[in-house]
Structure 1
Amino acid sequence: MGSHYDGDNGGRRRETRWCAVTGGRGFMARHLVAALLRSGEWRVRVTDLAPTLVLGPGETEEILSDALRDGCAVYASVDVCNLEQLTKAFEGVDVVFHTAAADFSKNNLQLHYKVNVIGTKNVIDACKICKVKRLIHTSSSAVVFDGVHGLFDVNESLPYPDKFPDAYAQTKAEAEKLVIKANGTNDLLTCCLRPGAIFGPGDMVIPTLDRYGWTHVTIGDGKNCDDFVYVENVVHGHLCADKTLSTIEGARTSGGKAYFITNMEPMNMWDFTYLVQEELGHKRISNIRIPTFVIKPASYLIEWAYRVVFSHFGICQPQMLTPARIRYVTLNRTFSCNKAVEELGYKPIVTLQDGLKKAVKLYIQLRKKDLSKR
């Protein structure tokens, strides 16, 4: 076990502990891994599907690279559907941050059930076998969304819906139930976090809006609000949850609970996309508004084309304009974080505007580097 010099503790060295991050090469997980390493309190076992680790550009990757070199991080190729691999990865681990999930853009129930539900069950079982103390599960605000009714400043008392808009929401809800139920079994403490729409360095939102920056498209009446959350705030929420569960009172209060995590700055969804385009330097040439009654039939046709035609030719593109996605982008979806503030001590550490500037600045820097290499 390693140690870390603590200048605030009389110069004594405090022990660093091991934690594991499943799906550790995902968008939010990369930032979580970097924050854990940056804290000096953790050694991190990064697990993901890829057989070998390939580092990309950016600060989070540089932090991981340094940690791998000095032994503060290790990479393990792990499939969450394989209990034996998980058990090996969790040996000697105090805390597991379970972020692994199937790609939300692929509306494949069999895939999502396998990864999100069976995978989460395996993670729980491996935690019990390895006597892991705490399991922090990355859930989603989608677990309370039925795709029919808008959500406005809802809190955690809202029950799961009877029907879900897609396989992702349905299976994430099932996974969350498993994690909540597991709290207190085999001395395992659990907590679930439900982030809003995450954005930040390394996301797909900014590149997509950059690609179509010349126009501003609005679907529906353009009045719906969403709760965006900067990736560093989601990471902060995970660290708050772990810190809370590590105390007797916190474990009693927050063990087996779920919490919404947002920037606490709900805003019109289409205004947000326009802010991104403005920050990227695009001047709006046109403003296209597509009524919902027009786009919905088209979305069913597009989904059919992906499922039947494209798959036949082996074309695997993200299915962005599906009936489910139309529901997500045309209905209100805002959530109260009061419970997370009161019980986890959560408070956003980066404002929406500052997060947007940071994310776009890094994106532009990396884009220039990429262009210079060509």
Structure 2
Amino acid sequence: MTATSTRRRTGSPRPSRGSAVEWLRRPRPPLAPPRWLTIAGIAVGAAALAVVPLVNPSYINLTVTLVMIWTLVGLGLNLLVGFGGQVSLGHSAFFAIGAYAVAVGGEAGIPHPATLAIAAALPFLVGYVLGLPALRLHGLQLGLVTLAMAMATPAAIRALEPLTHGSRGIAIDGDPPAWIPLAHDQWVYYLALAAATIGYVVTRRLARGRLGRSFVAVRDAEIVAETLGVDVWRTKTRLFAASAAYAGVAGGLYAMLLEFVGPENFNLTLSISFVTLIVVGGLATVPGAVLGALFVQYVPTLTSSISPAATGAAYGAVLIAFAFFLPYGLVGLVRAALGRLVARLPGRRGT
């Protein structure tokens, strides 16, 4: 009996520190819940999101709207960085272009739903042009070019004073048309909800479709992908253009929400927040944009209550921790925690 007990003890050792780290770093397949659970989750989530602005005060609507705006940025940036493998530290520039497109368009008398279309089109064109040097630049070089773009954005806004009003900024009337019976915060909330929902569905279809496979092929083995018939030139330019359009629409919604834009809104810290968002949420995952958006919205609020410098320190510590221990982000952690539970549900897909 003693020998048996000894064998049991030795055969089931406690997980060591190394094995715990390996467990966290292990890649895991996406969750495949049964269809009934997916439909129920979508129905409940849609109903809850539709009701939120009607039953909550404006400051809660503001923060939830910001989460949806960050989600939209994360979806586009994850297409470029996660699925496409192209480094970008300059998405605050595309975000700013979209914001000023809405502000300047509003001054010209263009209605805001139309200015959001302009906020998508202008960054799309700029992103396409930026995608051209990406054909020759890789990794750190491309990262430095996009970083320089982010650093130059506030100065460029000030230099274009006849158009952007320089450091004075532009006030925006973000109220809905007179025939829509919604308050300002509710109106922008529903616009952001529609944009984030469309962005999520489109990104999911892209990631699972032929175009998404070409993105991943260029990321993993560019030369091999080219020999197999993937048009690398077109793939990279499409990636940058699409990713920039996401950020532009998000920037336009941000301007409508705050009803003001100025150069101080688009500093380098914003680009760092965007990178943190996709790393924390999970690179090359669509749901990771949502989890990362929740992180960048609410964690800085908590840390700034401790110290004004705590947010930057928290970002640095989190990026290091996720790089070493959670390379698949919060999505990987959720998959690890819920994988076995979902596998036991009746009617699960793939069984």
Same fold (TM over 0.5): no
Identify, as 1 or 2, the structure richer in helix: 2
Q: Which has the higher contact order (CA 8 A, sep 6+)?
A: 2
Normalized per residue, the structure richer in strand is 1
* TM-score of the pair, normalised by structure 1: 0.27
TM-score by length of 2: 0.28
